[in-house]
Amino acid sequence: MGLIVQKFGGSSVANAERVMNVAQIVTETYKAGNDVIVVVSAQGDTTDDLIAKGKEINPAGSKREMDMLMSAGEQISIALLAMAIEKLGFRVVSLLGWQAGFESSSVYGAARIKRINCDRLRTEIGQHRIVVVAGFQGLNKYDDITTFGRGGSDTSAVAIAAAMHADKCQIYTDVDGVYTADPRKISNAVKLDEITYDEMLELATLGAQVLNNRSVEMAKKYNVELEVLSSLERKPGTIVKEANNKMERMLISGVAKDTDVSRISVIGVADEPGIAFKIFSRLAAKHINVDIILQSVGRENTKDISFTVARGQGDEAVEIVKQFTSSVSGKDIVVDNNVAKVSIVGAGMESHPGVAAKMFEALYNARVNIQMIATSEIKISVLINQDDADRAVTAIHAAFFD
């Protein structure tokens, strides 16, 4: 009994049959005595198809018009889901982002949710209707439609759950929860019953791709309990919530692999103060996120600086570093795309100093060479040769979970 927000992604509503399946899940939740607000994405490839239509006409079309174009996708899926729910005999109403009260910043294509005016949502819930809301979209101060960027529908769902003080926010996907490793690769990967917001944030960053970071950050901020579960199976998923005593018994919660990495090494820069600052401030100015940084002493009063960036930003990062080094102390720049980042994440590792050693031992036994190491309070990442990545994940997973 309570208010439950359920979010279904594009693949969960990709065709008529799946829309009916979602309608079943939603109405079962309603029949169990809950109020239900459902957030849906555009069907299947609809968003990509709409973008392609726009790009065909004008590859440099404005982001305002692109948002107008894309947001039609969710409009179609909310109407279809509402009709499916009507077919099952329940009272329902679909609402566009602006009808549901989503007020956003003005940045088209990547708007932030500023506020949800819940009046209409409350009215519809008060009339015992199931409410189907278009994810990913809001309205800015000019009364123009905006979209929220990648993972925007997850963020919409968490924002509604926070604003409406929902009891739970269920994120339905095509996996049935969060695993200790990619279950397609690691046969004995274990599904987690619970995980903390911070662990989930690290796993999302590390390429587990179950939940978008923004939505987890918002859930953490407003203490919204999330559940990640499958729309194709009827079984409990993984709960994402604040740490508690029970959860802390688990040393690490997952092993993740990220191959979307480039390593850039600047060899033999002058060993003088401010070089690192100058390089990384230039990268930051161009919105390039640097992940792991390693600085080592080179030969003859020089030093070597290595860092990793997302693969897609590798070329731009090299250009920026080249311009800088040629103007100051032009040296060799080496780019390595054949790398992978493998990480373990666990809220328990803070109080267990042996975790890093155990990870490194597993890698040593598997003959995996470590290029770089980075640590945070709940994460240890190593950069290794990409060819070793799957072997490394298997070895680490076995060391901690077998």
Cα three-residue angle 263-254-386, rounded to 5 degrees: 30
From the CB of 147, what's the least distance to its own copies, in Å? Answer: 12
- Contact between 382 and 373 under an 8 Å Cβ cutoff? The reply is yes
Distance CA 37, CA 102 (A): 14
Cα separation, 376 vs 14, in Å, equals 39
Helices (H), 142-225: 152-163, 197-205, 213-222
Q: What is the residue whose two structure tokens read 């490793």?
A: 181
CA atoms of 91 and 129, how far apart (whole Å): 5
Phi, psi of 149 (to 5 degrees): 80, -175
Minimum Å gap between C-beta 133 and its own copies is 12
In the block, which residue shows the tokens 């103060």? 273
From 50-58, 159-167, 179-187, 351-359, give the range in contact with its own copies by CB under 8 A.
50-58
Q: Which is nearer to its own copies, 71 or 262 (CB)?
A: 71
The interface mask with its own copies, positions 140-159, x = CB under 8 A, is: ---xxx--------------
Between CA 144 and CA 119 the distance in angstroms is 20
What is the closest distance, in whole angstroms, from the C-beta atom of residue 164 to its own copies in the complex? 19
Backbone angles phi, psi at 43, to 5 degrees: -65, 135
Nearer to its own copies, 70 or 158 (CB): 70
d(CA 204, CA 392): 19
Question: In sequence order, what E strands does 118-247 have?
Answer: 130-134, 137-139, 145-147, 168-173, 194-196, 226-230, 238-241
Nearer residue to its own copies within complex by CB, 106 or 323: 106
Q: How far is the CB of 120 from its own copies (least distance, A)?
A: 7
Minimum CB–partner distance for residue 19 and its own copies (Å)? 6
CB of 34 to its own copies, least distance (A): 22
Closest CA to 227 of 17, 69, 25: 25
Between residues 57 and 357, which has the closer beta carbon with respect to its own copies? 57
Q: How many residues bind its own copies (CB under 8 A)?
A: 38
Q: Which one, 20 or 232, has the nearer CB to its own copies?
A: 20
CB of 104 to its own copies, least distance (A): 15
Which of 14, 109, 112, 120 is the binder for its own copies (CB under 8 A)?
Answer: 120
Cα atoms in the Cβ-side hemisphere of radius 13 Å centred on 139 = 15
> Do the beta carbons of residue 175 and residue 146 sit within 8 Å?
no
Looking at residues 52 to 111 of the shown chain, list those that interact with its own copies (rule: CB under 8 A).
Answer: 53-54, 56-58, 60-62, 64-66, 68-69, 71-73, 75-76, 78-80, 82-84, 86-87, 93-94, 96, 99
Interface residues for its own copies in 1-40 (CB under 8 A)? Answer: 16, 19-20
Binding mask 355-374 for its own copies (x = CB under 8 A): --------------------
Residue 117: CB minimum distance to its own copies, A: 12
Is the distance from CB of 324 to CB of 359 less than 8 angstroms?
Answer: no
Are the C-beta atoms of 228 and 215 separated by less than 8 Å?
Answer: no
Using the minimum distance from each CB to its own copies, give the nearer residue, 13 or 224: 13
Select 69 or 362, whichever has its Cβ closest to its own copies. 69
Residue 96 structure tokens? 């566009």
Residues 289-328 that bind its own copies (CB under 8 A): none
> Closest CB to its own copies among 80 and 266?
80
Closest CA to 372 of 292, 260, 256: 292
Supply the minimum distance, in Å, between the C-beta of residue 24 and its own copies: 13
Residues in the site for its own copies, rule: CB under 8 A?
16, 19-20, 50, 53-54, 56-58, 60-62, 64-66, 68-69, 71-73, 75-76, 78-80, 82-84, 86-87, 93-94, 96, 99, 120, 143-145
